[in-house]
Structure 1
């Protein structure tokens, strides 16, 4: 039975507060704790690096835990179970009073990451199980992606409004607490809607008896699975490198001071608008080919942006909207394809480990985002690009321009190689359904 639009919206709505949380953790919380809370750059950098390493390693084990307990706790249950520690961690991190404490920040950051993982893997795997056929999975993952992007856009609007209309010396503190309050307000509203209006998560007859390491090994032995998570890693790298470099490119190279946040917001809004378009396109084409088209469009936009003249605000707006428009789909489509990979694995082994498989996608995308920062800073340092010097001398601006255009092109080419002739297509899916 096909899911109604109401059911899809109710299922996806926890994504709004969940993904509203992620942007502050990348952009606002680290400098807030380094400066306002007095912990310093080195300490905060170390804490967030260790936290991200823990987060990446813990994701597959969270997926394995869900499969071991799936007869007792449905995927919807994990969203609810993760919400309480997540809310407490948000309160402790966003509303802490100075001076800060490195141990306390580290502890609550780990709690937040673990709780977010449970909710995220639960949400995506539940959406996969609820969707009925090849195209409905694209629609379901698209609706979840729209919810996620809506949360991201919403939380970026809050500091922009505060900076525009509030005149106070404590604007950094007000900005952090306003975002934290918005997340804490949205979370119970979203969970209530989800609990009463979302379709019930499907029950499972018995928990998986396969050992955790054997499950990991079985997943990695699947060619379709390996190619998909590799592609998702490079999708994350496209986003990560461009996010890491946007301030240098916009404010130093293009000399558009104060416009980096605006262009980032426009790109995210364009992503939100682009998802329905690419869902429609995936119904006409294969999902993997639609993914290839999406990343190729981002590469073309990035190349165009890299050639812009300085102080070209309108062209910058056009390029970032063009870059952002397919990015939401590029992040959504691997999750729609993973639902088909789960079916393929179930046909071979007789066991459907949805949470385990989706936990790897959580890992690869976050790893891509994290590595994106490291790649851009490493290459910039290797080419001896110095931001302070570059504001006065444009001789090293070619380094940033080369990364803006070249990195997305290289990553898109790798994704194209991995996914254009992807073996798990619509015809293969129909054959699997006939066999099951």
Structure 2
């Protein structure tokens, strides 16, 4: 039975809310604690990275828990709803640090809330993506839903990138600390509403009755699925590249472009980039898929991203001060990342069938727990890299003279610019080399695997 329009809309709406929450944390948590609350950039970088190391153990375990769950509502929806509610509460607390805290107390508060946010996000994110293979029939239907979900997730991410700073200024009436608190509350409420709609509308249409694996068996299954691991490594490198840029972008506009209304330039740039990313997922990707295979679109996207960063890197070596010039590389970068986001999800979903054929088990939750982990790992690595850059460039808001000092320091600004553009090029080149060498799941291969699985089921 094919997916209904209601199911597609509900699932897409959940993706919007989910990625609004994720992008708020990934792009602004470092800025909130380091620039607004004056927590050490290095301390924040260590906290964010340490939380990701913790997730290396937490995420696969959560995948196992989801796989073992059996309820009248299925194995995915209960955790999806529980994780959403708890994550929404933690999100608000994370951006509502008590004014009485300072020094080590504030660092401890940031550490505890961020780790809890990661745990509860995992609780929700794994079942959300794991549902795709469980209620689609593979092939075009799965790719179509993955494209829709990733497009909607891109809308959620883009909305946060576009409106956050402007909303924070308006809600806080110039007080960024208060503005972030109220903005986080609004996003948390919307998140719960959207995911509730998803849970009420989506039902699992196919399940595979297998014995619940042990922790050892599950890790073994992951290690034996070489295609899942290849996609996972690629996702880490792609997202690290993007998140390094997104983490430093707000500092670039605040201390490089400068001015009292720097947030207007920042909002305009993000509006352009976010719009392009949405268009790339909803229009450019389906258009290219009419003429090219998914793998060819994937490589085209890599070429566009690397070319965009190359232009940005050249601009960093000049004294650029024209916002419109930045639109040129950003067009290629955001277009590429929009399509890469869709394709990595499709490829990862296909590795579920590959793993079932190879290992005789269907491990949706575990494989998609790796996606949750690696996306958060990428944000942690990027935040650590950004915090090191900020520390070396002496960029922070802890004194009134900082902006003037930063503007006067050409080396600080050059270091900021080159970190934004240079490191992502290296990450993307490594990603495409790893993927090209290891990935074998062409469309023909996926179709062949699907038919072999159906043949096994019919034989039983």
TM-score norm. by structure 2 comes to 0.82
Please identify, of 153-162 and 60-69, the stretch whose mean Cα deviation from structure 2 is larger. 153-162
Number of residue pairs matched?
432
Distance 2:59 2:161 in 1: 26
2:443 paired with 1:426 = yes
- Aligned counterpart, 2:122: 117
Distance 1:340 1:153 in 2: 27
DSSP-derived class of the 2:2 partner: coil
How do 1:5-84 residues align onto structure 2 when only pairs under 5 Å count? 5-33=5-33, 47-70=47-70, 73-84=74-85
Distance apart, 1:377 and its partner CA: 5.7
From 128, 135, 141, the counterpart of 2:140: 135
- Aligned counterpart, 1:230: 233
Q: Is the 8 A contact 1:135 1:282 kept in 2?
A: no
Distance apart, 1:314 and its partner CA: 1.0
Distance 2:87 2:389 in 1: 36
Please identify, of 236-245 and 394-403, the stretch whose mean Cα deviation from structure 2 is larger. 394-403
Please identify, of 424-433 and 146-155, the stretch whose mean Cα deviation from structure 2 is larger. 146-155
Distance apart, 1:298 and its partner CA: 1.2
Q: Is the 8 A contact 1:95 1:177 kept in 2?
A: yes
Instruction: Give RMSD over aligned pairs.
Output: 3.2
How do 1:251-330 residues align onto structure 2 when only pairs under 5 Å count? 258=263, 259-276=265-282, 277-282=284-289, 284-308=291-315, 309=318, 310-330=320-340
1:219/1:47 CA distance change after superposition, 3 Å: closer
Q: Is the 8 A contact 1:298 1:408 kept in 2?
A: no
Please identify, of 349-358 and 22-31, the stretch whose mean Cα deviation from structure 2 is larger. 22-31
Distance 1:35 1:230 in 2: 31
- Aligned counterpart, 2:369: 359
Q: Is the 8 A contact 1:253 1:394 kept in 2?
A: no
DSSP-derived class of the 1:210 partner: coil
DSSP-derived class of the 1:391 partner: helix
Distance apart, 1:96 and its partner CA: 5.2
- Aligned counterpart, 2:179: 175
1:262/1:49 CA distance change after superposition, 3 Å: farther
Distance 1:424 1:270 in 2: 29
Distance apart, 1:396 and its partner CA: 6.8
1:410/1:134 CA distance change after superposition, 3 Å: farther
Please identify, of 330-339 and 253-262, the stretch whose mean Cα deviation from structure 2 is larger. 253-262
Q: Is the 8 A contact 2:239 2:379 kept in 1?
A: yes
1:62/1:165 CA distance change after superposition, 3 Å: closer
Distance apart, 1:429 and its partner CA: 1.1
1:293/1:62 CA distance change after superposition, 3 Å: same
Show structure 1 runs of 5+ residues with no match: none
DSSP-derived class of the 2:408 partner: coil
1:336/1:118 CA distance change after superposition, 3 Å: same
How do 1:394-405 residues align onto structure 2 when only pairs under 5 Å count? 394=410, 399-400=415-416, 402-405=418-421
From 215, 225, 231, the counterpart of 1:212: 215
Write out per-residue CA displacement over residues 314-362 of structure 1, whole angstroms, 9 at most, x where no aligned residue: 1112322332122122122111111111101111222111010011111
Distance 1:133 1:244 in 2: 36
Distance apart, 1:62 and its partner CA: 0.9
Distance 1:134 1:204 in 2: 17
Please identify, of 360-369 and 206-215, the stretch whose mean Cα deviation from structure 2 is larger. 206-215
Distance 1:85 1:351 in 2: 31
Q: Is the 8 A contact 1:303 1:404 kept in 2?
A: no
Q: Is the 8 A contact 2:89 2:188 kept in 1?
A: no
TM-score norm. by structure 1 comes to 0.86
Distance 2:187 2:417 in 1: 36
Q: Is the 8 A contact 1:85 1:111 kept in 2?
A: no
Distance 1:355 1:23 in 2: 22
Distance 1:59 1:275 in 2: 27
Q: Is the 8 A contact 2:253 2:266 kept in 1?
A: yes
Distance 1:33 1:374 in 2: 14
